[in-house]
Amino acid sequence: MEGQTQGRGERYHRYYRAIEPMLKTPRNRAYTAAVFSFLAVSLFGWYAIRPTIQTILFLRQEIEDKAIVNQKMEDKINTLIETQAAYESVRPQLNLIFEAIPPDPEALNVVTQLRNLAQNNGISFTNLTVSQVPLLGADIPATGSAKTTKAQEGNFSFSVVLNAPFSVVKSFVDGIAAMRRIITIDSVSIVPSQEAGVAEGGKLLRLVLKLTAYYTAGTQFKTL
Amino acid sequence: MSNDRDILLVSIFTFFTVLSWIFFEVVKTTRTTTVTTNVQQIITPLSPHIDTDVFTILESRTSY
């Protein structure tokens, strides 16, 4: 045991004796100092200086960002107060928007308005077909993918067929375009009517209109 | 002699690599915003202007 320790000591002593002359030369000393300096700076730079600088910069950035967010929040609060005042000023007129685009489909209302328009023009429908309409705005059809449901949300189609002279047809179509309830005309088909006879305004024409009515289908306005 | 120079060069390259790495990390930290997406959505500016011409147009239309 003692012999082993002594042998190890002699070995290390031999190493030291081999290194010692090398370290004594100024050139080797300079190289060693430079190498260890670079390595030490690299090591401490990576494990100590970098995290510290990062933390400092992150905190400074956070303070700047918070100040900007605070300023923008204050601006937005002021804007919201202005918006609330503007909204209150137009609140009495909001029913006009609800009439133009109601929250629910209100298909019956559309049909009634079209019937009244037709009566004003002295005509009646030959046929009026309304496609599937949800009774409540939030109803979702049982069939069809989610994408299809979203695409159909907020409008429904219907078609109107009537026989009338050209002047009445024009007046009826103009009336639809001037209706407060927003209705778009998808297609218009005018062909000579099969019905016999000539009306006051000229020869009878068969008008087939495909229309689309819109609604907000949700709480967009209700929540205001 | 050549061996010493090689070790010195390796340590110098290591030093500059670490230095540039630290620099880019610091640049990345300064460029990255700390504001979350939710907050960015909340602070989106809002226009208080309401287009009142719409009411005039709707009033001019007929309700049957």
Among positive and negative, which fits the CA dihedral A130, A131, A135, A137?
A: negative
A179, B61 in Cβ contact below 8 A? yes
Q: Cα distance from A62 to chain B (closest Cα, Å)?
A: 6
pLDDT value of position A147: 41
Q: What pLDDT does residue A143 have?
A: 45
Please tell me the predicted confidence (pLDDT) of residue A32.
Answer: 86
**Tens of pLDDT along B11-21?**
999 999 999 99
Report the Cα–Cα distance between both ends of chain B, in Å, rounded.
104
CA distances from A193 to A30, A118, A125 (A): 110, 17, 13
- The pLDDT, as a whole number, for residue B4 is 77
- Paired residues of A157 in beta bridges: A212
Question: Rounded distance, CA A208 to CA B25, Å?
Answer: 69
The distance of B31 to chain A (nearest Cα, Å) reads 9
pLDDT mean over A25-53: 90
CB A73 within 8 A of CB B40: no
Report d(CA A73, CA A51) in Å as an integer.
Answer: 32
- Nearest by CB to residue B18, choosing from A28, A45, A175, is A45
Whether A171 has a pLDDT exceeding 50, the answer reads yes
- Per-residue pLDDT band for A138 (boundaries 50, 70, 90) equals low
Contacts of A79 in chain B (CB under 8 A): 45-48
Size of interface A-B (CB pairs under 8 A): 121
Rounded to an integer, the average pLDDT of A22-50 is 88
d(CA B17, CA B13): 6
On average, the pLDDT of chain A sits at 83
Q: Using a CB-CB distance cutoff of 8 angstroms, which residues of chain B are in contact with residue A45?
A: 18-19, 22
